[in-house]
Amino acid sequence: MNTALLSLAHLEKRYGGGRGTLALQDMSLEVGAHDFVSLLGPSGCGKSTVLKMVAGLLPVTSGRITWQAGTAASAQDIGFVFQEPTLMPWASVFDNVWLPLRLRGVSRASAQARVEEALQAVGLHEFAAALPRELSGGMKMRVSIARALITRPKLLLMDEPFGALDEITRSRLNHDTLQLWQQHGFTTLFVTHSVFEAVFLSRRIVVMAARPGRVLAEIAIDEPYPRPEAFRHSARFGAWCAEVSAALHAADDPHG
Ligand SMILES: Nc1ncnc2c1ncn2[C@@H]1O[C@H](COP(=O)(O)OP(=O)(O)OP(=O)(O)O)[C@@H](O)[C@H]1O
């Protein structure tokens, strides 16, 4: 694998003190530069907790998060895409994407070329003046991705970004996410409940279980990129999905 961008060592998270929920137990993971790693598991296995700790939004209870020298975990190095697009409803697509630069003091005029480039990258260059309510769910998510990438982060954190979309839009955004990832060279840490989505996208899948949140297995999806749509319908895809599903169900929780 490439040099590690980020390494998680024996991470643990307990919410609410000594007797609180053990949200994550003993998670270790190396994320390489330009890696695509998915965290896959049922609700409550601690996937969002991991992303929030990596983003520095939540303190770890124990364990360590280490960044490769020279890639300090500043907000500038990390882009975050949530399940909800979280756009400002009163602001145009352009102004939503400009926001992270604006917060850094970059004027609208100076940001123009970069915002246009980001909108072009997600296929929304004709919608710069539109308001969020004029867009479909998939288009709103594209705006959210453009906003996350506008600062050219080294690491893109995606927390179930396509879970609320219809299947066709979801497939298209899977494809476009891989294209952006290949073109721009950032690292992606992606959270999903979907075995199919994890297999289609990832170089590696971290399979997790709940109560307590923990890692069950790490599976490398040894398939070349770019991954064409035909990959989804191939026997190899089916075999990967079967392997990942088996790992996921190894810890079947009768109360789950
Ligand atoms: N702020 C909090 N306070 C207390 N418990 C929390 C908090 N946030 C999450 N938890 C608990 O920690 C565990 C892991 O939650 P987390 O949201 O990380 O899981 P997840 O795998 O992302 O779930 P989902 O797929 O439903 O988003 C769950 O049991 C959850 O109830």
Ligand 1 centroid–CA 81 distance in Å is 17
Atom of ligand 1 nearest to the CA of 213: 14
Atom 24 in ligand 1: residue holding the nearest Cα: 43
Q: Is 148 exposed, middle or buried (0-12, 13-18, 19+ CB in 10 A)?
A: buried
Q: Are residues 165 and 67 in the same domain?
A: yes
So what's the pLDDT on residue 71?
Answer: 57
Which of 14, 38, 39, 45 has the most ligand 1 atoms within 8 A of CB, as the residue to mutate?
45
Atom of ligand 1 nearest to the CA of 52: 18
pLDDT tens track for 40-99: 999 999 999 999 999 988 999 999 998 876 655 555 589 999 989 899 999 999 999 999
Give the nearest ligand 1 atom to 48 CA.
22
ipTM computed for the complex: 0.96
At residue 203, does pLDDT exceed 90?
Answer: yes
Ligand 1 atom closest to Cα of residue 24: 14
Residue 8 lies in a domain: yes
pLDDT tens digits along 98-122: 999 999 999 999 999 999 999 999 9
Q: Is the pLDDT of residue 21 over 90?
A: no
User: What CA–CA distance (Å, rounded) separates 1 from 175?
Assistant: 23
Amino acid, single-letter form, for residue 76: Q
Asked if 124 and 142 count as a contact pair (C-beta separation under 8 A), the reply is yes
Query: Are residues 230 and 63 in contact, defined by beta-carbon separation less than 8 angstroms?
Result: no
Shared domain check, 159 and 227: yes
Distance 17 CA to ligand 1 centre (A): 15
User: How remote is the CA of residue 214 from the centroid of ligand 1, in Å?
Assistant: 12
b (16+ CB within 10 A) / e for 209-242:
bbbbbbbbbebebeeeeebeeebbeeeebeebbe
Please check whether residues 171 and 60 belong to one and the same domain.
yes
- The candidate with the shortest Cα–Cα distance to 54, out of 189, 163, 219, is 189
How many independent structural domains does the chain possess? 2
| Pair 57, 91 in one domain | no
Last-in-domain residue among 153, 178, 209: 153
Query: How far does CA 170 lie from the centroid of its chain?
Result: 14
Instruction: Identify residue 115 by its one-letter amino acid code.
Output: V
Domain extent for 98: 87-153
In-domain check, residue 81? no
In a shared domain, residues 179 and 229: yes
- Residue from 11, 13, 14, 15 whose mutation best tests the ligand 1 pocket (most atoms within 8 A of CB): 15
Q: Ligand 1 site: residues with CB under 6 angstroms?
A: 15-16, 21, 23, 41, 43-49, 213
Span from the CA of 192 to the centroid of ligand 1 (angstroms): 14
Check whether residue 99 and residue 201 sit in a common domain.
no
- Yes or no: say if 22 and 213 are a contact pair by the CB < 8 Å rule: yes
The CATH number of the domain holding residue 158 is 3.40.50.300
Kindly report, residue by residue over 129-186, the tens digit of the pLDDT. 999 999 999 999 999 999 999 999 999 999 999 998 999 999 999 999 999 999 999 9
Ligand 1 nearest atom to the CA of residue 51, by list position: 18
Residues 189 and 255 in one domain: yes
pTM for this one? 0.93
136 and 172 inside one domain: no
Task: Determine, yes or no, domain membership for 144.
Answer: yes
**The pLDDT of residue 253:** 59
Tell me: do 168 and 146 sit in the same domain: no
| Predicted local confidence at residue 1, as pLDDT | 47
**Which CA distances in Å does 224 have to 65, 200, 202?**
29, 11, 10
Say if 113 falls within a structural domain: yes
Q: 106 lies in a domain? A: yes
